[in-house]
Structure 1
Amino acid sequence: MIMGVAANWALNGALIGPVAAAMTAGGLIGIERTYHGHPAGFRTHILVCMTSCVLMLAAMHQSTWAFVALPDQRLVIDPTRMTHGILTGIGFLCAGVIFREGFSVHGLTTAASLWTTSAVGVMFGIGLWDLALIAGGATLVVLAILRFLDARLPHVGVVDVTLRWARDAAPGETTLRGLLSDSGLKPVRIGHVVSHDGLIHEHHIKARGPMPLRVDDLSLRLGQQGGLAGFSVMPRDD
């Protein structure tokens, strides 16, 4: 009896450590996402990492399962099948944080962080603590520290511009391209939407330009356009 209790306590100790570590790693990654206002933040990342860890711990400790398929026989499964199931399920969760707004697609980095967090939980679950800690630390470096490096690298920015013109006031594409060019932007796609009553003509524009984008300059120019009923200028930032 005493031996059985001791064994249970030993097993519980072996389970608590990975779960606590997974919750900590997931929470740290989630804090970074929450701080920058992205979907799927602190609690979501904790749950993803912890659940991945718990499922893998269950697969790795099959000897303690209270299930016997046939008398004197024990069911044994391949733990890697559990991994495949976890990562497939995480794919559906990741799809939930990716959304499209006009020509923009948002949430890709958060979806990738969820996928990575799940993998970190799996590593804790199968006992690869070193790899889990390395992966967790690397994820934080990429999300938190490399963000500043990415902002300083020379690259082209993307901005979504929506223009709402009064009836018969909408200019042609040549005029639009010239207006954007004056602010250092080059349109790569121009869409047209006309209201049912024909009173409003909208231009949905995806434009590129060198960073930093001259958003204030463009907004000032747009505010001086006659016949413009409203506009929005939304720089992309995943």
Structure 2
Amino acid sequence: MRFIETFELLPLVNTTISLLAAFLFGTLIGVERQYRQRTAGLRTNVLVALGAAAFVDLADRIAGPVKSVQVISYVVSGVGFLGAGVIMKEGMNIRGLNTAATLWCSAAVGACTGADMIADGAVLTGFVIAGNTLLRPLANVIDRIPISEQAAEATYELRVTTSAAAAPALREKLIERLEAANYPVGDVESEEQGEDGVEIVATLVPTAVEPAELDAVAAAMESEPGVRHATWEGSVAG
């Protein structure tokens, strides 16, 4: 039997220690995820860490350290696909990014233990747990800080509604007024509104704005002959 020929006690003990370390570290990471009732909880993080450790250890025993490095690269990409499965899009919101990142880190912990770098795996485990617990209050504080219009990275559009006949002249007038206010225009489009209506949409080059200045441009455009309505809006980038 090949088992008798290949069986070696000391390498088996070494593998057992590596897998046990991966199991313990994965459990520590997974407990926090399970407590917060995330999609990937205790068992998932343990299995990811164990699987990564097993593949790296197996490659090292069969072909040596060079081959195990190649296997680590495969583990990284493979766990990336697994992490994509826990990311969910709900309308404009995306959930599960942190859970996916945690799975990726669990795989890194497992790779460390599979390469017999157990102390490194322990240190990494500590950082992962700290990132998911100690940084949470700080993230909550930052989320509550209001963002000013000037500080936000946003896309701004100025919209003017007019008739089809007046649209060409008002398009040029809109560009002139925006450039005079030092807001360069990135793009201008015309959208049909009903039978004789046209909405001119001027998208500004990404920049910080003063709301009062755009209000003034919109008011000036609204006073132009043929303009039915003028307004502006901004959307903050995610």
TM category (shorter chain) comes to 0.5 to 0.7
Contact 2:30 2:45 in 1 (8 A): yes
Instruction: Tell me the equivalent position of 1:59.
Output: 59
- Show the counterpart of 1:67: none
**Identical-pair percentage:** 29
C-alpha separation between the residues in 2 aligned to 1:59 and 1:93?
21
TM-score, reference length from structure 2: 0.55
Structure 1's 157 and 106: CA in aligned 2 closer, same or farther, altered over 3 A?
farther
Unaligned runs of 5+ in 1: 65-75, 159-238
Mapping 1:115-126, distance limit 5 Å:
115-126=104-115
Structure whose CA Rg is larger: 2
CA distance in 1, matches of 2:145, 2:31: 28
In 2, Cα distance between equivalents of 1:42 and 1:98? 17
Aligned to 1:186: none
AA aligned to 1:37 is Q
Q: Secondary structure at the match of 1:12?
A: helix
Report the Cα offset of residue 104 of structure 1. 0.3
Pick closer, same or farther for the CA change 1:89–1:157 going to 2, 3 Å. farther
- Residues 146-196 of structure 1, C-alpha deviations (whole Å, 9 max, x = no match): 2123223464589xxxxxxxxxxxxxxxxxxxxxxxxxxxxxxxxxxxxxx
Partner of 1:36: 36
Aligned partner (choices 63, 69, 72) of residue 83 of structure 1: 72
**CA–CA distance in structure 2, aligned partners of residues 84 and 157 of structure 1:** 41
Q: Secondary structure at the match of 2:89?
A: strand
Query: What amino acid sits opposite 2:88 in the alignment?
Result: F
Runs of 5+ unmatched residues, structure 2: 148-238
1:37: how far off? 1.4
| Pairs aligned (count) | 143
The answer on 1:96 being equivalent to 2:85 is yes
TM-score, length basis structure 1: 0.55
Q: After superposition, where does 1:67-78 map in structure 2 within 5 Å?
A: 78=67
Q: Distance in 1 between matches of 2:84 and 2:111?
A: 20
Do structure 1's residue 142 and structure 2's residue 135 form an aligned pair?
Answer: no
> Secondary structure, in 3 states, of the residue corresponding to 2:94?
strand
Q: How far did residue 12 of structure 1 move?
A: 1.6
Please give the root-mean-square deviation of Cα atoms over the aligned residues, in Å: 2.4
Instruction: Tell me the equivalent position of 2:172.
Output: none
Structure 1 residue ranges, 4+ long, deviating more than 4 angstroms after superposition = 154-158
Aligned counterparts of 1:129 and 1:93: Cα–Cα separation in 2: 24
Cα distance in 2 for residues equivalent to 1:138 and 1:26: 13
Per-residue CA distance 1:188-208 (angstroms, 9 max, x = gap): xxxxxxxxxxxxxxxxxxxxx
> What secondary structure sits across from 2:49 in the alignment?
helix
**Counterparts in 2 of 1:96 and 1:156: CA distance versus 1, 3 Å:** farther
Residue 10 of structure 2 aligns to which amino acid in structure 1?
Answer: A
Judged with a 3 Å threshold, the aligned counterparts in structure 2 of structure 1 residues 157 and 103 are, in CA distance, closer, same or farther, namely: farther
Where 1:100 maps in the other structure, the secondary structure is strand
Tell me whether 1:107 sits opposite 2:96 in the alignment.
yes
- Give the whole-Å Cα distance in 2 for the aligned partners of 1:54 and 1:44: 15
